[in-house]
Amino acid sequence: MHTVELLPDAGLESAVREMWSRLVAAGLPSLATHGHATNRPHLTLATAASVEGLAVAGLPVPAELGAVRFLGRAVVWEVRPTAALLEVQARVCAALPDPWPPPGEWVPHLSLALRVRPAQHEAVLAALGDPPRAGGWFVAARSYDTATRTVTGLA
């Protein structure tokens, strides 16, 4: 499988990494400890069997972060679904064979931690505190290949 991901500007990336660091400092799961070279804050637009020939148009696109919440076993920072962001995601999905999730089911977010147990929820919220108002831009796109564990820029 291949992902289609948007990458944040330096300021927004720094805000996400700060949240990752808060979790590490509290001894909780955090994507800061994920050691793969491709690990960095990103917004996944879709996954598909192939992204061959895909170019992501419409960047940069504004990004506004909302609340921190739990999404399954993940801790995520919501990304407000602006019209511009929804348009980029819809165009990407229209260009891919069998994309997932389809536009109407997409929950835009930046992941902070995975594999968080329910017993850790209270500690996670305490460690993250009241998240700062954060915003910026998604400035680039890439694809992550789950088979080869490599990334490719999508221009």
Give tens-digit pLDDT for 49-106.
999 889 898 999 999 999 999 999 999 999 999 999 999 999 999 999 899 998 889 9
Q: Please give the CATH superfamily to which domain 2-153 belongs.
A: Cyclic phosphodiesterase (3.90.1140.10)
Domain ranges of the chain: 2-153
For residue 74, with 0-12 CB atoms within 10 Å meaning exposed, 13-18 middle and 19 or more buried, which class applies? middle
Strands (E), the chain: 2-8, 43-48, 61-71, 74-79, 109-113, 135-145, 150-153
Write out pLDDT tens, residues 22-52: 999 999 999 999 877 788 999 999 999 999 8
pTM of structure: 0.93
